[in-house]
């Protein structure tokens, strides 16, 4: 089943993704979009790797998700993917890259994203463009998935 998990930061999305993926038979894959650009991010990546405890074959790809996506995969996470595009000068490519990713979606996949635009409007143009793009990314992924869950305080609410 194609599943999208959305919610706030630290709402339990990544843990929920691992629970859903535990039911898949055979080899499971984890597509990590994060890049270790500072010490905090390096530490966060290590914590996520420890949480997976060798249950997945990890593939690291910050931008070209459609090239490495496969069945029985967790993709974590779309906001970091979009961040990678914005800060590598590839902001204009997000729609085409997302369309290629959606076209390549396999039968069994869990995609993790963050819910955005639920608070104040950002003061700067870059943050507004990012929030708008992530909202569109989420809507397009939700339309392409069979199941969508919203996580709040570690609790999951099925939306679709």
What pLDDT score was predicted for residue 142? Answer: 98
Average pLDDT in the chain: 92
Annotation says 48 is catalytic:
yes
Whether the Cβ atoms of residue 111 and residue 75 lie closer than 8 Å to each other: yes
The confidence score (pLDDT) of residue 48 equals 77
Q: Where do the domains of the chain lie, and which CATH numbers do they carry?
A: 2-158 (3.40.50.300)
* DSSP 3-state of 151: strand
Predicted structure pTM score: 0.93
Which of 2, 48, 70, 147 does the annotation list as catalytic?
A: 48
Q: Which one, of 32, 12, 9, lies nearest residue 149 by Cα?
A: 12
Considering only CA atoms, which of 3, 43, 136, 27 is closest in space to residue 82?
Answer: 136
Whether the per-residue pLDDT at 41 is higher than 90: the answer is no
């Amino acid at each position: 089943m194609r599943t999208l998990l959305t919610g706030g930061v630290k709402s339990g999305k990544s843990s929920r993704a691992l629970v859903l993926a535990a039911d898949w038979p055979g080899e499971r894959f984890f597509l990590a979009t994060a890049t270790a650009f500072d010490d905090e991010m390096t530490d966060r990546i290590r914590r996520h790797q420890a949480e997976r405890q060798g249950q997945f074959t990890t593939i690291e790809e910050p931008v070209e998700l459609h090239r490495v996506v496969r069945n029985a995969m967790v993709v974590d996470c779309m906001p970091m993917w979009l961040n990678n595009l914005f800060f590598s000068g590839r902001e204009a490519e997000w729609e085409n890259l997302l369309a290629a990713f959606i076209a390549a979606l396999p039968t069994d996949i869990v995609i993790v994203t963050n819910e955005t635009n639920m608070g104040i409007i950002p003061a700067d143009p870059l943050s507004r463009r990012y929030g708008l793009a992530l909202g569109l990314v989420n809507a397009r992924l939700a339309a392409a998935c069979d199941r969508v869950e919203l996580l709040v305080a570690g609790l999951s609410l099925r939306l679709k």
